[in-house]
A and B are shown apart, each in its own frame.
Chain A
């Protein structure tokens, strides 16, 4: 059961530009998380935003959450070639799923030097 859907599926930008990725979900959530995956590696947790939060920052990352629209966005400012990776949103449903995360299919970000 796919909860989060990232958009776009792929994004290509130049170094220094900002990258914005979106995630939409279907049911109520307790929290929403973003993860990064470099090619051939495991996922790395980036940031968690709770359902009662609207915005959160971590370094060059800014996450927003709009529970009325059931959507979230991840903004990476001043992107670097090292940001090239796939980015996944994951939702912890408000009820059910035993509190486990449900991952989207990811956005593949390519940052060209």
Chain B
């Protein structure tokens, strides 16, 4: 998991509470991504960042917000968690040296359970 950490690694929370997941990289990569992985759906992009303070929505962005105030940190916030947001969340980084999409490097994941 090349220089990418995610915190927390596991979290149990209740419906309606805010939750923030953190992704930290030491690779100085420009692009950072948040995905969720669910059985039967594979990996789906939530939000991504193409630079400090530059973020955009992915395929499943409803109910999520992100912030990137430093190159190394990308935060994912669930403003008011719902049971449908129970999932495994992965952060990824890329420099896109190989072209669009780039070869991405993934963090270890965060397991989130919303009761």
Of B45, B56, B105, B108, the contact of A45 (CB 8 Å cutoff) = B105
Contact residues of A with B, CB < 8 Å? Answer: 1-2, 30-31, 33, 40-45, 48, 50, 88, 90-93, 98-106
- Chain A neighbourhood of B92, CB < 8 A: 42-43
Give the A-B contact count at a CB cut-off of 8 A: 71
| B residues near A102, Cβ cutoff 8 Å | 45
A103 contacts which chain B residues (CB < 8 A)? 35, 42-44
Measuring CB to CB, which residues of chain B are less than 8 angstroms from any residue of chain A? 1, 4, 33, 35, 40-45, 48, 56, 58-59, 90, 92, 96, 98-109
Q: Is the CB of A30 within 8 A of B101?
A: yes
CA–CA, A105 and B45, complex, Å:
13
**Complex partner residue of A100 from B33, B40, B41, CB under 8 angstroms:** B33
- Give chain B residues whose Cβ lies under 8 Å from the Cβ of A2: 42
Given contacts A31-B99, A42-B106, contact A100 B45 (CB under 8 A): yes
Are A43 and B90 interface neighbours, CB within 8 A? yes
Main SS of chain A's interface residues? Answer: strand
Q: Looking across the interface, which residue of chain B has its beta carbon closest to that of A98?
A: B56
Instruction: Please state if B1 and A42 are interface contacts (CB–CB under 8 Å).
Output: yes
Task: For A90, list chain B residues within 8 Å (CB).
Answer: 43, 101
> How far, in angstroms, from A61 to B109 measured CA to CA in the complex?
26
19 A-B interface contacts by CB (under 8 A): A1-B59, A33-B103, A41-B1, A42-B1, A42-B90, A42-B106, A42-B109, A43-B43, A43-B92, A43-B104, A44-B106, A88-B43, A90-B43, A99-B96, A100-B33, A101-B45, A101-B104, A103-B35, A104-B42
Pick the most buried of A30, A45, A90: most chain B CB atoms within 10 A of its CB.
Answer: A45
Pick from B35, B48, B98, B106: contact of A31, CB below 8 A: B98
**10 closest A-B pairs by CB:** A92-B101, A42-B106, A99-B100, A105-B42, A103-B43, A92-B100, A101-B101, A43-B106, A45-B103, A30-B100
Write the chain B residue with the least CB distance to A103.
Answer: B43
Q: Which of B41, B59, B103 has the most CB of A within 10 A?
A: B103
- Inter-chain contact B109/A41, CB cutoff 8 Å: yes
Question: A42, B108: Cβ atoms under 8 Å?
Answer: yes
